[in-house]
Amino acid sequence: MSAVASPIAVERIHWWQSRTLRRFMRHRLALIGLAMIVILTFACVCGPWLLPYDELYIDIRARFASPMTGAHIFGTDPLGRDIAARLFMAGRISLLVGFFAMLLSTAIGTVIGITAGYYGGRLGAALMRFVDAFLSFPSIFLLLVLAAFIKPSPFMITVIIAVTSWMEIARIVEAEIRSLRERDFVMAARMLGLRDTKIMFRELLPNAIGPIIVAATLTVARAILLEAYVSFLGYGIQPPLPSWGNMLNGAQQYLDRAPWLAIVPGVAITLAVTSFNFIGDGLRDALDARSDID
Amino acid sequence: MFHYLLGRLWQSLVLLVIVSMIGFAVLNLAPGGPLSQYALTPGMTQEALNRLAEQMGLNRPLPVQYADWLWHLVQGDWGRSYRDNQPVLDVIGRHLFATLLLMGTSTLISILVGTWIGIKGAVKRYSVFDYAATVGAMVALSIPTFWFGLVAIYVFSLWLKWLPAGNMYTIGDGSFGDYAIHLIMPSLVLAFVNVAVWGRYMRTATLDVINQDFVRTARAKGLPERTVMMKHVVGNALLPMITLAGVQLPSILGGALVTETVFTWPGMGRLFLDSLGYNDYPVVMGLLMFSAMLVLAGNLIADLLVAFVDPRIRLG
């Protein structure tokens, strides 16, 4: 739409000059979070190649080696597998599950929220009651029921997490769209005869993108936490495939003998989740036009 | 007021019906099904399975099963546990006290501490305390509760040997002090996250109030700062907290479930996991419904309380 050449010479503002980016760069915690995520991702992608151990290699003579024995930086687990190698491979799984669960739940939440917000009326009310009903369960209960009854694979876990965490985004999008739909540009789009779907996704959605991005970032954090919990209980990612959550499975029974079994993956989860929360917070400050830090 | 009450009750009822449909659908459309537990028994034949299905009414169409289940539910018959044939409501009732005890204690702690942190942070905005509280809250919200519980057990039970590592009481003891000492760690671990939530909301709410005209008027009248803060600011800032308590209920309940698993606390969370392990459908379904009811009732009470306390809300 906006590609039509404007007769007035406007100085083009590139994305790297935008106010949003400037504000984000000034948010120290968000930058720390971003840096930590980059480092974690890099470590999980490259780490396994650099370590001398395979994450599935069982060395029964080296069981329960404490951290820093030989080349086992983080020690070994009850089967003598290298924890560092498992941690990085697990990070791949956990981060990917978190990321794709975020994509899927954002998609579900956006479609439901935009439909409810744009059409409003009976349809909107019915959809929002549906959202409320989903929110009445503690999401952990629903998640566990689904995970216990459906054969868990990384793909299914991603879907299950998404199915139980799209409601926040639906609510945010609905409120945002409801406040936008009476604006002049929507009226203009309607008079041009645009289809509803086009108005919803091409005209309205870009105007509501800020809060969606913030909520999506926080959803990554939530999804990582949920995966960790479900896998900790043994209903999530199944061994031998490691995930941060299932590395903690069984850690409790060895807590006195081998506390590093619990500590190492937990710190990784906390680092990742904190980072995403920091980034989300920074994005909220940067994208919110009402907050005037400038 | 009466109309408002009636309207809210009706809303909750509609929600409860949708909730029951979602719960029933999730349980019955998932693969496996209630008979999967029996199917594992050695020597089980298809014929015997069919007979079981008929006895338990599982061979009927799903909508009929749903209607039948709902009809019994309304009459207070929530079905019987597949595990020990006890009525579901009795089974839940036996675990209810533990969960409520844990949730109640921890919520009380988190509200007291969180409110204090929030007010202090708002009054001394951008101070070291405020900054530390904000960052601390973010970290607290990011630590997995179950893992934090493990670390707490390691430090306070295994290392320092100050507190018991789990359970609600020592068998054969069960005195008040015994309960209390078992309650300390799980309730603090569960409160940790919630303090962060309360603190952040209370900070925002206090900041909203603190800059309003009536606060300036109160100061201009020459009221002591303490009175202004306690009566005018905190009193008003606490109002949105009532609503928040209602909204937070599902996540507090979820958090209690998580905490219970780590501390072998004999509450609804443990029951839920055990029942999942046994494919005990009636109990799982009962717990889903029961927790949703708790949440809806909590929201309802919170809304009514706000309407009751806040004179600005005029209800037809």
Write down the mean pLDDT value for chain A.
Answer: 85
Of A138, A146, A225, the CB nearest to B144: A225
| pLDDT given for residue A33 in this prediction | 92
pLDDT digits (tens, 9 = 90+) for B264-277: 889 998 899 888 88
Closest-approach residue (CA) in chain A for B159: A256
Asked if B121 and B134 touch (Cβ cutoff 8 Å), the reply is yes
Cβ–Cβ < 8 Å for A3, A270: no
Query: Distance of alpha carbon A188 from its chain centroid, rounded?
Result: 36
Q: Which residues of A fall within a CB distance of 8 Å from B250?
A: 135-139
Residue B280: closest C-alpha in chain A: A145
Distance, C-alpha A11 to centroid of its chain? 36
- Is the CB of residue A199 less than 8 Å from the CB of residue A73? no
Query: Number of residue pairs across A and B with CB atoms under 8 Å?
Result: 127
Interface test with A, best of B150, B253, B265 (most A CBs within 10 A): B150
Nearest by CB: A137 against B138, B147, B291: B291
Beta-bridge mates of residue B87: B80
**Do B8 and B243 contact (CB within 8 A), yes or no?**
no
Q: Which of B45-59, B62-76, B90-104 has the lowest mean pLDDT?
A: B45-59
pLDDT (0 to 100) of residue A272:
94
Q: Do A138 and B23 touch (CB under 8 A)?
A: no
Q: Position B309: which residue type?
A: V
Which residues of A, range 249-288, sit inside 8 Å of B by Cβ?
251-252, 255-256, 259, 262-263, 266, 269-270, 273-274, 277-278, 281
Q: Residue B157's pLDDT is what?
A: 84
Q: pTM for this one?
A: 0.88
Nearest CB to A233; choose among B23, B254, B273: B273
**A146 neighbourhood in chain B, CB within 8 Å:** 26, 30
ipTM of this complex = 0.86
When comparing pLDDT for B40 and B60, which is higher?
A: B60
Q: Evaluate whether B102 touches B259 at the Cβ level (below 8 Å).
A: yes
Q: pLDDT (tens digit, 9 = 90+) per residue, B306-316?
A: 888 877 766 54
Cis preceding linkage at A240, omega within 30: yes
Q: To the nearest whole angstrom, how far is the Cα of A139 from the nearest Cα of chain B?
A: 7
Q: Which amino acid is at B39?
A: A
pLDDT at B314: 60
Cβ–Cβ below 8 Å for B22 and A255: no
* SS3 assignment, position B89: helix
Residues 229-258 of B with CB under 8 A from A: 250-251, 253-254, 257-258
- Ranges of residues in chain A whose predicted pLDDT is under 70: 1-10, 62, 289-294
Phi, psi of A176 (to 5 degrees): -65, -50
Q: For position B182, what pLDDT does the model report?
A: 87
Note the pLDDT of residue A3.
55
Q: Which residues of B touch A40 (CB under 8 A)?
A: none
- Asked if B167 and B265 touch (Cβ cutoff 8 Å), the reply is yes
Chain A environment of B153 (Cβ under 8 Å): 252, 255
Cβ partners under 8 Å of residue A177, min gap 6: A113, A114, A116, A117, A118, A200, A204, A208
Facing residue for A145 by CB, picked from B14, B153, B284: B284
Q: How far is A18 from chain B (nearest CA, A)?
A: 26
Query: With contact defined as beta carbons under 8 Å apart, do B92 and B290 qualify?
Result: yes
Give the confidence band of B32 by pLDDT, cuts at 50, 70, 90: low
Residue type, B276: L
B201-240 pLDDT, tens per residue? Answer: 999 899 888 888 888 888 888 888 888 888 888 888 888 8
In this predicted structure, what is the pLDDT of residue A83? 81
Instruction: Give B272's contacts in chain A (Cβ within 8 Å).
Output: 141, 144
Task: Indicate the residue of A140, A266, A277 with minimum beta-carbon distance to B141.
Answer: A277
- pLDDT recorded at residue A292: 46
Q: Alpha helices, DSSP H only, in chain A?
A: 19-26, 28-50, 83-119, 121-136, 139-149, 154-163, 167-180, 184-191, 196-198, 209-232, 244-248, 260-287
The gap between the terminal CA atoms of chain A, to the nearest Å, is: 30
Nearest CA in chain B to A281: B138
pLDDT, greater one: A68 or B182: B182
The secondary structure of chain B in percent helix, strand, coil, rounded to multiples of 5, reads 75, 0, 25
Nearest by CB: A137 against B144, B158, B288 = B288
Residue partners of B202: CB distance under 8 A and separation at least 6: B114, B115, B117, B118, B119, B122, B237, B241
Asked if the Cβ–Cβ distance from B31 to A269 is below 8 Å, we say no
Arithmetic mean of pLDDT over chain B: 85
B14·A129 Cβ contact <8 A:
yes
Distance CA A94, CA A276 (A): 13
Least confident of A257-271, B32-46, B60-74, B87-101: B32-46
Q: What's the longest Cα–Cα distance across chain A?
A: 77
Residues 116-135, chain A: which have Cβ within 8 Å of B?
A: 129-130, 132-135
The gap between the terminal CA atoms of chain B, to the nearest Å, is 6
- Is B112 near chain A, with CB under 8 Å? no
- Residue A1: per-residue pLDDT: 47
